[in-house]
Amino acid sequence: MDKSLRALTASISFISVVCMSSSFLPDVAGAVVAPPKTKCFIEVQNAHISTSILEQQGRLAVKVNATSRCNAPQSNVILTVKIFKEGLGVAHLVAQRSTRADNPKSQGLVVKNQFTFAYCKNTTRSKYYGVASARATIRGKGYTTPPVWSEKTLELNCGT
């Protein structure tokens, strides 16, 4: 399945879970359904060479950023980002980092994970993509998202 289609499906699935859990589900045909109370989703950027790490440390690194957005306040958010490298055989994990639920930045309408990266060992061209998922408390209830993929797998001058 195409990664952008998987990302869209995962986003729709998360929104559906939130909507179903916060809406009245009818038992009989023709009953009125309450509109969704929240619109929450994860955005995952494509893998890229980090300009900030290059400028600050003088090193090349592949990086993926993700954001959890919701129109209702989120708390205790654990937003996990993984970077995968494609190669011979199955894609393999090169980096994984999560936000901390107890961090004040893991609360609110927008929570970001902008610190998931892997240093490049050389400039060999390699293909990378990102996957993110989250756990959060919204209106007192716990939610877990399905994984969301970055839109594209990109070839970068970064061998890990």
* Per-residue pLDDT reduced to its tens digit, 105-148: 999 999 999 999 999 999 999 999 999 999 999 999 999 999 99
Distance, CA of 153 to CA of 150 (rounded, Å):
7
Domain-wise residue ranges, the chain: 3-152
pTM, two decimal places: 0.77
What would you measure as the largest C-alpha separation in the chain, in angstroms?
63
CATH of 3-152, one of 1.10.10, 2.60.40, 2.60.120, 3.30.460: 2.60.40
The CA angle 45-48-54, to the nearest 5 degrees, is 130
Give the model's pLDDT for residue 89: 87
Per-residue model confidence as pLDDT tens digits over 28-64: 344 444 444 568 999 999 999 999 999 999 999 999 9
What is the residue type of 114? Answer: Q
Beta-sheet strands, E only, within 1-153: 40-44, 48-49, 61-86, 92-98, 108-119, 122-138, 141-144, 148-149
- Exposed/middle/buried for residue 108 (C-beta within 10 Å: 0-12, 13-18, 19+): middle
The CA angle 145-96-47, to the nearest 5 degrees, is 85
